[in-house]
């Protein structure tokens, strides 16, 4: 199995087009690298690829990496499908950019499919342009993706029931509105976990992550009051569906107890102090065996 991080930033990327926070200013001055919005690509054997989430940056992300380019004929793509972890705008709006390609499959839980069908109306719009197959995923049954003799098992683990803002956030969200993925190469037994939006550090999530060799984990906010302190948002991290990284109840100390060889933070908001490689926060997570991911990080497992 091959994996590549296509982007590591939260919604808006770094720099965000309308932001003058310290990190966005540093990115515009080339003091820190710009980051695309969070997405992962993986392939069972290196020829057929699947995207985890489709961001508004998707066409630039596909253009950046040669293995994702058209490989034959005038029009083609090695992208066989898109797997959604939730229905958030920064993870779904890129689906519209994939309308030129036909014959790919959208994989999502039934609550997320309903969001795309009934609320965003993305699927009805896409079907006017291309034949898009929809495969509904279940928390109880793994998805098996094959390429020749190579097989990857995709298991879902619930990471929270936070609903996108465009739904009005009604009470009683169903299971499956937010998930992480456990990708297992069935030949080698090696596992990759991808959990970009985590609202709860549950025992179930810990159990799923224990067998992973590589973990990509929600690093959206450093602190609960990050946006409030900067005067750019009223909600805290928890209300937005994210466990902060720092603090006694944060994800860093929790993740440090897991034995994965590689533990990388993804989905970082442009305000997160971790984006500064010289920050005390970055130095601290390194002492715990954690690191911040970079766009383009790749591995074969």
Q: Residue 174: its pLDDT value, please?
A: 83
Q: For 245-293, what is each residue's pLDDT tens digit?
A: 999 999 999 999 999 999 999 999 999 999 999 999 999 999 999 999 9
Residue 40: name the closest of 91, 86, 102 by CA: 91
Mean pLDDT of 104-117: 97
Residue 231 lies in a domain: yes
Q: Dig out the tokens for 37 from the structure.
A: 């919005």
Q: What is the pLDDT of residue 63?
A: 98
Under the banding of pLDDT at 50, 70 and 90, the label for residue 151 is: very high
Model confidence band, residue 10 (pLDDT cutoffs 50, 70, 90)? very high
Sign of the C-alpha dihedral computed for residues 63, 52, 146 and 216 taken in this order:
positive
Domain presence at residue 151 = yes
**pLDDT of residue 120 exceeding 90:** yes
Alpha helices, DSSP H, located in the chain: 22-28, 58-64, 89-92, 110-114, 122-126, 203-209, 226-230, 251-255, 280-287
Q: What is the mean pLDDT of residues 227-253?
A: 95
37 domain-assigned: yes
- By the 8 A CB rule, do 111 and 177 touch? yes
Total domains in the fold of the chain? 1
146 contacts 43 by C-beta, under 8 angstroms: no
Tell me what pLDDT residue 172 has: 67
Q: Is residue 59 part of a domain?
A: yes
How much is the average pLDDT of 111-121?
A: 97
| Mean pLDDT across 103-111 | 96
Q: What is the pLDDT of residues 59-84, one digit of tens each?
A: 999 999 999 999 999 999 999 999 99
pLDDT band (50, 70, 90) for residue 97 = very high
Q: What is the pLDDT of residue 171?
A: 66
Per-residue pLDDT at 43: 98
Q: Which residues lie across from 132 on neighbouring strands?
A: 104
pLDDT per position as a tens digit, 160-204: 999 999 998 776 688 899 999 999 999 999 999 999 999 999 999
CA pair distance 48, 151, nearest whole angstrom: 11
pLDDT value for 102: 84
Whether 172 maps to a domain, the answer reads yes
Domain span at residue 97?
Answer: 2-295
CA angle centred on 62, ends 91 and 33, rounded to 5°: 80
The domain that holds 66 is classified in CATH as: 3.60.15.10
What confidence score (pLDDT) does residue 122 get? 97
Report if residue 66 sits inside a domain: yes
Within a domain: residue 300? Answer: no
* Structural domain includes residue 41: yes
């Amino acid at each position: 199995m091959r994996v590549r991080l296509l982007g590591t930033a939260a919604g808006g990327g770094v720099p965000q087009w309308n932001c003058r926070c310290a990190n966005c200013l540093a990115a515009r001055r080339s003091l820190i690298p710009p980051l695309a919005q969070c997405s992962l690509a993986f392939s069972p054997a290196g020829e057929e690829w699947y995207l985890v989430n489709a961001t508004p940056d998707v066409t630039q992300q596909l253009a950046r990496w040669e293995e994702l380019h058209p490989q034959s004929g005038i029009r083609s793509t090695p992208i066989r499908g898109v797997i959604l972890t939730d229905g958030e705008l920064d993870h779904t709006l890129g689906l519209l950019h994939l309308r030129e390609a036909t014959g790919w499959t959208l994989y999502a839980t039934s609550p997320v499919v309903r969001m795309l069908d009934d609320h965003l109306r993305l699927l009805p719009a896409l079907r006017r342009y291309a034949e898009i197959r929809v495969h509904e995923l279940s928390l109880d049954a793994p998805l098996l993706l094959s390429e020749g003799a190579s097989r990857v098992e995709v298991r879902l683990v619930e990471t929270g029931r936070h609903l996108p803002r465009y739904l009005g956030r009604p009470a009683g969200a169903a299971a499956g509105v937010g998930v992480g993925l456990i990708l297992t190469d069935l030949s080698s037994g090696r596992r990759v976990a991808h959990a970009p939006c985590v609202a709860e550090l549950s025992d179930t999530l810990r159990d799923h992550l224990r067998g992973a060799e590589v973990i990509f984990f929600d690093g959206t906010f450093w602190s609960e009051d990050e946006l409030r302190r900067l005067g750019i948002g009223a909600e805290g991290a928890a209300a937005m569906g994210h466990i902060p990284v720092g603090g006694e109840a944060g994800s860093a100390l929790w993740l440090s107890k897991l034995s994965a060889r590689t533990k990388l933070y993804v989905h970082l908001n442009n305000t997160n102090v971790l984006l500064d490689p010289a920050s005390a926060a970055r130095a601290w997570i390194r002492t715990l065996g954690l690191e911040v991911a970079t766009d383009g990080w790749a591995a074969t497992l």
